[in-house]
Chain A
């Protein structure tokens, strides 16, 4: 069995049995993946993950995707302006991330930035990020804010820069090659308990936004703080996230992409899959593994292994999206 067939099977798991039946190698491959912490399920709407090695082996010889297929990239938590032991040079690691993005084949159709563009909204931080991201070989970047982007001014600067074409406080949706993308803002309504919150107005907007869609439309939802209760003790939850997810349950394929927690965690719930992303700036401790969340200093030689980008592939006719996690080193 080749890596190509492994990939094909993973992409088809919700609808088709493996082409040659289950082989020992394939079962071992999946169990090995489970051993790394990836969650596998045979429910519909599955998306799968691969190592870079698998992804490279699975590339068509010509390097060109079939018509209707595309890839996009998620970056998160660039924290421009951060100064601390956890990463003495967040601009350098962002440049490394961009080098990884620009080396991807096929090139990403666009980028999603899932928030915390800046660390402390210091003067010039948004400009610095905008300048650096000009070197990304892609057509467009979509942004949702993190709490670090809005805490000083309630989101004024962020919305002045990135709010064009959005509704409310930056809510947005767009369609690309049959996939419906929804960007939600859950950092402008911080509640006393420190939970992320969407608010009733945004929930109403979301309800209307998806009302016209067929249940077979693949959805990708991107927002900063996880919509699911990752770790409420540390505020890693969106208070009214479940209301939003309830509106999405009828869809056969829903992929939720978050930042905020600076590490990869995944969860499958019915047809909805949740993926938190690495930062390009600094890692955070695993839930509960430290007295509090925050920048985590790792040995210098390990830093690039815990930062990274995410490459997401959509193949037309398949509801599953394939995610490739790419560490910086």
Chain B
């Protein structure tokens, strides 16, 4: 009996050695003892895509990666744009009242939260400028000063947060829910 168990063990070990150490489980339904990997069509960011629960396929994401490349290019462009003094970047969200008086001479830069990133990650502005953050991600985020200067509440998708920077300096910030999300405002 033990030899048969050992044989079984060996077979299983051999099989499992070929299985990735972390294997996503398909979600099982009542009464189904087991199943082969299922392909699910999932929707993320509005676009349906497919993946299998056993093996993560990177193939379907090539379009996404191209998209990210384009987004990066836009981000670089935006960084350049907001780095140039002057009213260049349009803003949909009206600034808070306290900032309105100084808006005539200030830019209205906007930072977008998407795919767990602040974009652009670094924004250079003049003192007295109000920066607006827009959460275009699907998750909850915050805009929280690393120096304790400001902290947004939890921003749901579509929410915005604005802060007016009055003094020159370097102002790092992060997302309190996802601290790897970091950004910096450089005030000249």
Contact = CB atoms under 8 A, between A and B. Distances in A.
A264 B68 CA distance: 28
Interface in A236-264: 263-264
A53 B33 contact: yes
A32 B33 contact: yes
Interface stretch (A61-69, A134-142, A175-183, A302-310): A302-310
A51 B154 contact: no
B56 A291 contact: no
Given A53-B31, A266-B25, A302-B40, A84 B68 contact: no
A74 B53 CA distance: 23
B21 interface: yes
A294 B25 CA distance: 18
A133 interface: no
Interface in B112-141: 115-117, 137-140
Interface string A187-202: 0001111100000000
B15 A298 contact: no
Contacts of B2: 17
Contacts of A231: 22
B91 interface: no
Contacts of B11: 27
A71 to B, nearest CB: 18
Given A17-B2, A120-B154, A293-B116, A265 B24 contact: yes
A302 B27 CA distance: 10
A294 B139 contact: yes
Contacts of B154: 119-122, 151-152
B51 A327 contact: no
B138 A53 contact: no
A289 B34 contact: no
Given A22-B5, A27-B8, A152-B154, A278 B42 contact: no
B26 A36 contact: yes
A35 interface: yes
A286 B53 contact: yes
Interface centre among B24, B26, B58, B61 (most CB of A within 10 A): B24
Main secondary structure, interface of A, reads loop
Interface stretch (A39-47, A166-174, A211-219): A39-47
A230 interface: yes
Nearest to A52: B30
A37 B53 contact: yes
A298 B40 contact: yes
Given A288-B56, A295-B139, A40 B27 contact: no
Contact of A305 (B4, B5, B27, B68): B27
Given A52-B31, A192-B179, A21 B56 contact: no
Interface in B10-30: 11-13, 15-16, 19, 21-30
A291 B64 contact: yes
A282 B4 CA distance: 44
B157 A84 contact: yes
Contacts of A17: 1-2, 4-5
Given A27-B11, A34-B16, A327 B29 contact: yes
A43 to B, nearest CB: 10
Interface in B49-66: 51, 53-54, 56, 58, 61, 64
A230 B22 contact: yes
Nearest to A83: B156
Given A52-B30, A84-B156, A37 B140 contact: no
Contacts of A119: 140, 154
B166 interface: no
Given A18-B5, A86-B138, A308 B23 contact: no
B34 A35 contact: yes
Nearest to A326: B30
Nearest to B152: A152
B23 A266 contact: yes
A33 interface: yes
B91 to A, nearest CB: 25
A296 B40 CA distance: 12
A37 B156 contact: no
27 contacts: A27-B8, A30-B12, A32-B33, A34-B12, A37-B24, A37-B26, A38-B25, A40-B12, A42-B9, A52-B30, A52-B31, A53-B30, A119-B154, A147-B177, A190-B176, A193-B180, A194-B181, A265-B22, A285-B44, A289-B56, A293-B116, A294-B137, A299-B43, A305-B29, A306-B27, A325-B28, A327-B28
Interface of B: 1-2, 4-5, 7-9, 11-13, 15-16, 19, 21-37, 40-45, 51, 53-54, 56, 58, 61, 64, 68, 115-117, 137-140, 142, 153-154, 156-157, 174, 176-182
Closest 6 CB pairs of A and B: A194-B180, A120-B154, A32-B34, A294-B139, A37-B23, A151-B176
